[in-house]
Amino acid sequence: MPGGSVASPPADTAGERVASSSVLSGSRSSPGLVMAPPPSHVPCMLTEGVATAVDRVHSPLKEASCDMAGSDQLPTTQRTVYSDGPRHGGRRGACLVVIHGEGLGRRVDLGGQPVLIGRSDEADLVISHRSVSRSHCQVWLQGDEYRIRDLGATNPTRVNDQPVAEAVLADGDHIVVGESILKFIGHGNVEAGYHEEIYQLATHDALTELYNRRHFSEILEREIARAHRHRHTLSLCIVDVDLFKPVNDTFGHIAGDEVLRTIAGIIRNHVRSDDVAARIGGEEFAVLLLETGAEAATAFADRLRAAVAAAHFAPGGVPRRITVSVGVAELVPPAVDRSTLMAAADAALYRAKEAGRDRVCAAG
Ligand SMILES: Nc1nc2c(ncn2[C@@H]2O[C@H](COP(=O)(O)OP(=O)(O)OP(=O)(O)O)[C@@H](O)[C@H]2O)c(=O)[nH]1
């Protein structure tokens, strides 16, 4: 099974006996694999489908049963339920995945454009480690082959442990970049879907599907460096749901979660494609607006605030007005790095709360 997360026999062994009693437990044995209680036959696993995240295991149902010839156990049936597999079906594109060291889990899709790997924040795959050169190596498509070229890195690029100036990549090749190892996953390899799923889980918030706090922090760090380098500005908005505790207390956490999902949807509808939105706390969101000063960011935040205030919410079936407060800070002194920018936006948010909520305050 890709990634080794779930064992599954090859097609011609479907129907083969699985003798381990542990798989007859009736509980989830691994992500994406759900075992039903054993009524009448020995468990069999089908090979179709890719078992993936636990939250999406419900369909389609693959079911098989087989006799337990020669066994003195009672015959049992086990259903193995697989998920739909990764979100993006069909033939998969090639990608690079960091499988060891700094940047672990990070992946980059390989299309027709050359991909730069290095420590520079201009790289397509940034590996922020001193063992990696700013522009370390490049991967590009030539004809129907992906090729890799070392760009004069201090620690030369290695493919399957051989230093290379330029080479053709084959599915499964290990590329050593400084102290990190990348894996090249070729076109059509189902493992690409597995890594995509893992990456999605590691970088996104499960409730809202926005980026999670950790990933947002990484992006913020990188964009601040880029903004300083190019003498651009950027602004950070921190959005906090007003009086959310009473919503939970009155209608329960499930209704509260639905409110958070709706607000996330409103945020998603308001950001441009190069803005970055995340859920950074329980009822706290962040939006990073690139190349945007405080004035435009405040106007954006107020449009967002007004959209939430105008939206229809009915937690537990009871219509209720929900509002948010927003703190805005631009990347200007003293807010010049991630922590000072976050602190400035937080302080502005605090003032918005103090001033009565359902409003936007800018730092400074
Ligand atoms: N439903 C749900 N609630 C959450 C989640 N994470 C945090 N919360 C709740 O969010 C609420 C936050 O409450 P407070 O920090 O007191 O703030 P508030 O009631 O929104 O009040 P102000 O921020 O002062 O306007 C708490 O009740 C948390 O339990 C979550 O994932 N789902």
Look up the CATH number of the domain holding residue 213. 3.30.70.270
209 and 198 in a common domain: no
- Report the separation in Å between the CA atom of 87 and the middle of ligand 1, taken as the mean of its atom positions: 31
Please tell me if the CB atom of residue 60 comes closer than 6 angstroms to any atom of ligand 1. Answer: no
What would the pLDDT profile of 107-117 be if each residue is shown by its tens digit? 898 988 999 99
- Whether residue 59 lies inside any domain: the answer is no
> Is the whole-model pTM more than 0.80?
no
Q: What is the pLDDT of residue 64?
A: 31
253 and 197 in a common domain: no
107 and 240 in a common domain: no
- Whether residue 10 lies inside any domain: the answer is no
Ligand 1 pocket, mutate which of 209, 210, 283 (most atoms under 8 A from CB): 283
Atom of ligand 1 nearest to the CA of 207: 31
358 and 214 in a common domain: yes
289 and 166 in a common domain: no
Please tell me if the CB atom of residue 191 comes closer than 6 angstroms to any atom of ligand 1. Answer: no
- Report the separation in Å between the CA atom of 361 and the middle of ligand 1, taken as the mean of its atom positions: 20
Q: What is the pLDDT of residue 294?
A: 97
Q: Which domain holds residue 212?
A: 205-362
Please tell me if the CB atom of residue 173 comes closer than 6 angstroms to any atom of ligand 1. Answer: no
275 and 260 in a common domain: yes
Q: Is the ipTM value over 0.90, yes or no?
A: yes
Residue 156: asked if its preceding bond is cis (omega within 30°), the reply is: no
169 and 261 in a common domain: no
- Whether residue 221 lies inside any domain: the answer is yes
- pLDDT per position in the chain (364 positions), as tens? 323 222 222 333 332 222 222 222 222 222 222 222 333 322 222 222 222 222 222 222 222 333 333 333 444 433 333 333 334 444 457 999 999 999 888 889 898 899 999 999 889 999 989 999 999 999 999 998 999 999 999 999 999 999 999 999 999 999 999 999 999 999 878 887 888 888 889 899 999 999 999 999 999 999 999 999 999 999 999 999 999 999 999 999 999 999 999 999 999 999 998 899 999 999 999 999 999 999 999 999 999 999 999 999 999 999 999 999 999 999 999 999 999 999 999 999 999 999 999 999 999 8
Q: Last residue of a domain, which of 202, 236, 254?
A: 202
- Whether residue 67 lies inside any domain: the answer is no
254 and 220 in a common domain: yes
Please tell me if the CB atom of residue 245 comes closer than 6 angstroms to any atom of ligand 1. Answer: yes
Please tell me if the CB atom of residue 228 comes closer than 6 angstroms to any atom of ligand 1. Answer: no
Q: Last residue of a domain, which of 169, 202, 235?
A: 202
332 and 238 in a common domain: yes
Q: Last residue of a domain, which of 153, 183, 202?
A: 202
Please tell me if the CB atom of residue 241 comes closer than 6 angstroms to any atom of ligand 1. Answer: yes
Our count of domains for the chain comes to: 2
331 and 196 in a common domain: no
124 and 103 in a common domain: yes
Q: What is the CATH number of the domain that holds 161?
A: 2.60.200.20
